[in-house]
Amino acid sequence: MSTYNFLGLVNDVNRKLNEVELTSSTFANAIGYYSQAKDAVNASLRYINHTAFEWPFNHVEAEDTLTAGQVRYSFPTDMKTVDMDSFRIKRNASFNNVTQKLKILSYEEYLSKYVDDEYNDGNTSIRTLPTYIFKAPSLEYGVVPPPDEDYELVYEYYRLPVDLENYDDVPTLPEQFRHIVVDGAMYYAYQFRGDLETATLSFQKFQEGIKDMRTIYINRYNYVRSTVLDKTPTSNNVGPRV
């Protein structure tokens, strides 16, 4: 099997359609059908990524350095969804602070109680280690109170993957699901060729593969251990069991 990258996936499609395979040197300038094959692979990946907001292979841990006195900060441009419950200030020996998880504050409550902190730059006495986090309607988050030091803040989000472009670009999707990407690409390739009957069959196979992925990654049920005490006495009367 060829290397798991953009070139390898396009050549998977080429082999299935009995087309000549591309190489690293011919990939960039390929035209005609081969441009459609590239588009088909990217269309397949986009479809997979849009079927769930929080695929674990798109999970990212981000780190920002806060600026003393600054309340608002921008989210990454590739952010799809953010876990507001994941924000924490990292331990820093220089600032003598331990790791602290931030509490979620609604934007409405921030505006009603703390928004003046943004405009009170001259009052350094209000600055300290932040304890709250809020999400603004724009692609921004904010910390309350304003920081008194350049603390390191960590949070987690799910990104929007970009299209593959270069022959050696690798999808965020794990290689074990390579066949699903190819099934989706075949659907689009058959559509390009006007073979709608085969395209329909490929799409059904594609959908089944995505369904299996959701079963593995999304549709999970966490086991919850009961904390109820069983007060039935044991045979030697030593007391209740847990």
> What tens digit of pLDDT does each residue of 43-54 get?
999 999 999 989
For tokens 């509490």, name the residue. 103
Cβ-Cβ contacts under 8 Å for 90 (sequence gap 6 or more): 63, 99, 151, 152, 153, 154
The alpha carbons of the chain give a radius of gyration, in whole angstroms, of 26
CA dihedral 71, 144, 104, 100 (to 10 degrees): 110
pLDDT tens, 23-73?
999 999 999 999 999 999 999 999 999 999 899 999 999 999 999 999 999
Residue 233 confidence (pLDDT) above 80: no
Residue 238 confidence (pLDDT) above 50: no
Cβ atoms of 53 and 157 closer than 8 Å: no
Residue 150 confidence (pLDDT) above 50: yes
Cβ atoms of 81 and 108 closer than 8 Å: no
pLDDT at 134: 98
Residue 95 confidence (pLDDT) above 50: yes
Residue 176 confidence (pLDDT) above 50: yes
Spatial distance between the Cα atoms of 165 and 99, rounded to a whole number of angstroms? 40
What is the domain partition of the chain in residue ranges? Answer: 6-53+173-205, 56-158
Across the beta sheet with 152-159, the strand order is 59-65, 152-159, 79-89, 100-101
pLDDT at 226: 52
User: SS3 of 10, please?
Assistant: helix
Give the amino acid at 64: D
pLDDT at 241: 39
Q: Give the pair of three-digit tokens for residue 229.
A: 């005490």
pLDDT tens, 126-136?
999 999 999 99
Cβ atoms of 43 and 185 closer than 8 Å: yes
Residue 68 Cα distances to 64, 72, 95, 117, 125, angstroms: 13, 11, 12, 12, 12
pLDDT bracket for residue 218 (50, 70, 90): confident
Spatial distance between the Cα atoms of 61 and 213, rounded to a whole number of angstroms? 22
pLDDT at 140: 97
